[in-house]
Each structure stands twice: as C-alpha cells, then as structure tokens.
Structure 1
C-alpha cells in the first residue's frame, strides 16, 4: 500500500497570546499560530509502505474541520469567545515522484502539496472578542521536500517492517491578509522533518507511527484584525508530534482500526523576541478509521478525529477522506 506526507491545513490551530482586561475587553491581542498546514492525522494506516519503483503518485485529501471553542492553557474554553464556529474545508493535492536513484539501500524521491482552503468563522454578536477569518476559497502554503523510502523487511514471505524519512519545508506561499486573524497561509517559513515506521505483527494486523519535528521561523508581518504596533514580530514555538494507528483486516482489502495524533509544543511563542509564558499548545485527538485497497494502484482512507486534550488551541472534530492513485 502507498501512503505519503500530508499537510493538514489546520487554519485555526491557534496558540493565542491574549491579554484581557477586567471588563473582558481585549488589550493588545497578538495571535501566534503554529503553521496553517501541518500533518495532524492526515497520514495514517500503512504509512511507511509505498511505491519503490520509479513513477508518479497522486493523492487527494478532502478534509472538514469544525471548531466550536478556543481553549486556554488548562484546556478550558476561553469565555470571551462566545458561540465560536470556525470551519475549514480543505482540498489537498499531493504530487509524489519516486526516482530511479538509491542511497543506503533506500529509494530517493520528492513531493509537493498544494492545498485549497475554504475558511469561515463566526462568533456571537455580543462576543467580547471575535476573530476575523480570511473568508472564501484560497490557496494554502505549499509543502515540499525530498524523501528516502526503504523497501520493507520480508519475513516468512510477507512484509513485517518498513520505514521512510523525509525533510519538508513549508513555504509561506498561500493567501495571507495581515488584517485577518485566521488565514490559509501562516505567513512564515517552517521546516518539518519526520520519520515514519510501519510494523506488521501478523498478516492481518498493522501498527504505524510518524514522528514529526517542527521548527518555525520569525513572522515579520503577523496577521491581526486589531492594529499592531509597527515592527511587531512573532515566532511560534518549536513542537513535536506523532500520528499513530492500529488496524486489523476484517475483510479482504479492508482494514479498520484506531487513528490518532499527539501534538506537543515544547518552547513558548515569542512576540518581539520576548517569550510568552504559558503559550505552549498540546493536542490529543483519536477516533475510528478505515482503509480499503481497491487494487494495487488505488487506495482509499477514512479518518475521524475527536478531541481528547486541547490546550491553547481550537477544540472540535476533524474528518479526512483520502484517495491515492499510483501511475
């Protein structure tokens, strides 16, 4: 089976540094975002297995995210956001090239992801604080990078272990309006290397995990619906996360199981070079999922993610449909 890198355009994965007065009227509000498009649960079952002969692969991801709260550092809904409703409908187009070249026993390749994002956000008319979205269809940030994929280890005539490593760059190439709080683009560069592994303990069981590291560079033009002082800069903290799955073949070509992700920001955000204490994002989501192999070159996935832990981020559900075609 073939799975590759995914850019989940979490357009509202927000680490909010909000200073609110006693009357719940915002003082200077600076929204510091983790990248708008990172792979939070997009790749799942059989993640490290893929195509090892030269050729092209196309993947289409259709994703619906809906958030009904923005949580604080303790995981509680921030009360100044009343009747939160933030929705992102995302279409991701991923193009993968597997080259004829090899290194250290693995096959070399490269990939690029071009996202299209439709954003909408609304709050109660009497909400003390409201965020403004860059509404409508827009292009998200392009993710691109090289990878090395190692053919699976074979035992007893079947694959039992596979791995892949990739070094991705998230380019601030998407739609970005500095007068809006929520955009398809992050407005800054990031790097996102990862290591993906798949273990097949039996002929019908599968375990996969993708271990990600994220480093964000400075945003010299942070977006905010509230005017910011000239020269304001922000930098989202570094983070790590893992996508994880476990599945079982219940029918020929059909696996069902559990999918999830755990995201942990381990350095605080910065505003004008000053560390903002208590801004680290933590997110755990899990849910049911399934994958069906129509044939060797066409595979479908369904992943549902429900919130378990959400700190300094939006709170809601995420549904992903994915289709892979190998040429």
Structure 2
C-alpha cells in the first residue's frame, strides 16, 4: 500500500464519525464513544441521591496526523470539532450491594469541520446518545463507582461522507472509578472504561476494543479546586473489515493540562485545557472544556 493510501485509510477510519469523543484515531468513528477527558475533578465520585444536570462545552482542534511509528504525516490537516452535551443524572435512594443505584443519559450536539489534502467536509447536528446505570459507594475519604454505559447510533451517518456526527454502531462500556480526598484537601481521581464495539453494517467495519481513563490530581481550598487532569487512551485489539484484521492502526494518546473548579451554592463551574502527546494513529491536538453542574 502506498504512503498516500495509508494516510487516507487512516484519515477515513479515524474521522468517519467523531461524535462526542472529540478526537480522531484509527478506529472507525474516532475511537471511544466516551468523551475522553470529560471528567477530572472528583471523577470517581457520583453525587448523593438527587437529580443533577451537567452541561459540557468542548472545542477540539488539531493540525497534525501521527502514524503508527509516532511520525507526523504532512497532510495539511485542519480539524475543528465543537460540541455541547447535555447530561441528566438521577441517583435514587435505593441500594444494591451497599451502593446507591443511579441512571444517566448524555445528548450531544456536534459541529465538525475538516480540511485535509485538498478535501473539505463538515457536518453538524445530534450525535450518538448514551444511556447508562451505575452504583456508587461513599466513605469519609473514599468514593467508588461502577457502571455500564451503552451508546446508540442515533446520529446522522453517511458512509460516503468524510465526517459524520454519528458512528453507525453501538458501543458497550463498563466503567469503574474512584476518588480519594484527604482531610487536608488533596485529591486523586480516576475513571476507567473498556469499550466493546459492534460492527458498522454500512462499511462492514468493526472497531477493536478500547481501554481509556480520565484522571485528576489536585488540591481543594474553600470553594476552589486546582490541579492537573487529562486522559489516556489505548486501543487494545485490532479493527476488522470484511472479517479481515486491519493491522497497525491501533490508536493511542496521553493528554495532560490544568483544571480549575469553583463551587457556588448548588452549582459548579469547571474549566480545563488538555494537550495531547504520545500519539499513535490519531490526530494530535488540544481540547478546551467548560463544564457546568447544577444540583436540583
């Protein structure tokens, strides 16, 4: 396969349906259906029983495509993805195995613009909706969570387009998380996930299994929290197309950057910046986040 064909295969597999993952990698649909980096401060701490609303606003931009060897491919790339995602959470007062039972859904609105190698495309609209359930446990200094999320192909998809707001396949994602908050205000949090993806019936392509986690370490003082957050993503198994393995296209990335939170009564405001590094088979870029949380 020529180098140009390899680049175009990587691009078409990676940007075919970015949805809420906000980034591109070798797996069809832009990698994990989960928005890598969305959680940070208190990432493993599900709130107590009640109803909550979260609004995520994200902007991702990239001008580099990195291959399997970690080398930049000179493809004149300009990718911009904007998203606003509504998340509704309900935590019941019912318990199972000692943990509170909860439910949530995420509804993404996307706007995508891609210019690469003289080609350009854009798409906007409703992305793929996620529904999930979880259990949460709390002690004086520790918070634990376990859950299962399912992302459905509700977004628009056309296999002949370069970018799509939908992925056209399901993702099933077990979730584990923890947060440790010391008496002195020091925090360490991790939210870890593993994805199983169904086949895209329009392209006969099945994305491999994916492991990824969000993380945060920081310090709480009064109504403020400051620290370092980011995410790690690694595709674990190969993709398949028409029943054949697609070799050397597994994605990887580590992202890191500052995070700041302010708590005001029953509301929270979080701002984050995340820079990607250690990239393989993905675009390399930057993410900017604003997150609003409201407790009813």
Same fold flag (TM > 0.5): yes
Correspondence for 2:54: 59
The equivalent position to 1:273 in structure 2, one of 243, 248, 255, is: 243
Is the Cα contact below 8 Å between 1:11 and 1:36 reproduced in 2? no
Which structure: greater helix fraction? 2
Contact 1:11 / 1:37 at 8 angstroms: preserved in 2? no
* 1:8 Cα deviation from its structure 2 partner: 7.6
Shift of 1:36: 6.5
Write the mapping of 1:40-55 to structure 2, written as runs, cut at 5 A. 40-53=36-49, 55=50
Aligned runs of 1:249-288 on 2, under 5 Å? Answer: 249=220, 251-288=221-258
Pairwise CA distance, 1:310: 1.0
Q: Distance in 2 between matches of 1:97 and 1:189?
A: 23
Alignment of 1:73-88 (within 5 A): 73-79=68-74, 81-82=75-76, 84-88=77-81
How many pairs are equivalent?
A: 279
How many Å separate the matches in 2 of 1:9 and 1:36?
A: 9
- Per-residue deviation at 1:176? 1.3
Could you tell me which residue of structure 2 aligns to residue 27 of structure 1?
A: none
Q: Give 3-state SS (helix, strand or coil) of 2:159's partner.
A: coil
> Displacement of 1:314 after TM fit?
1.0
Q: CA deviation at 1:56?
A: 1.3
Gaps of 5+ in 1: 1-6, 17-31, 155-159, 223-232
Q: Does 1:71 find its partner at 2:71?
A: no
Match of 2:37, SS? coil
Are the equivalent residues in 1 in contact too, given 2:157–2:165 (CA < 8 A)?
A: yes
Q: 2:101 aligns with which of 81, 95, 108?
A: 108
1:212 to 2:207 alignment: no
Contact kept, 8 Å, 1:92 with 1:115, in 2: the verdict is yes
* Counterpart Cα distance in 2 of 1:41 and 1:286: 9
State the partner residue of 1:39. 35
Structure 2 spans left out of the alignment, 5+ residues: 1-17
Whether 2:282 is the aligned partner of 1:313: answer yes
* Kept in 1: contact 2:123–2:165 (CA 8 A): no
CA deviation digits over 1:161-210, x for unaligned, max 9? 00111100010111212211221111111111110100113431100001
CA contact (8 A) 1:35 1:186 kept: no
TM-score by length of 2: 0.89
Q: Per the alignment, in what secondary structure is the counterpart of residue 72 of structure 2?
A: coil
CA distance in structure 1 between the aligned counterparts of 2:264 and 2:22, rounded to whole angstroms: 32
Counterpart in 2 of 1:89?
Answer: 82
- Alpha carbon RMSD of aligned pairs, Å? 1.7
**What is the TM-score when the length of structure 1 is the normalising length?**
0.81
2:19–2:165 Cα contact (<8 Å) kept? no
Offset, 1:37: 3.4
Deviations 1:118-148 (A, max 9, x none): 11111353xxxx4x53x24311100111111
Matched, 1:292 2:279: no
> Contact conserved, 1:65 with 1:319, CA < 8 A, in 2?
yes
Give the SS at the match of 1:33: coil
Residue 118 of structure 1 aligns to a residue in which SS?
A: strand
Mapped partners of 1:146, 1:12: distance in 2: 25
Residue of 162, 172, 178 corresponding to 2:143: 162
Instruction: Give the distance between the partners of 1:73 and 1:143, measured in 2 at CA.
Output: 30
Matched residue SS, 2:199: coil
Mapping of residues 125-204 of structure 1, within 5 Å: 125=118, 130=119, 132-133=120-121, 135-150=122-137, 152-154=138-140, 160-204=141-185
Task: Find runs of 4+ consecutive structure 1 residues off by over 2 angstroms.
Answer: 32-37, 48-51
Please name the residue that 1:29 is paired with.
none
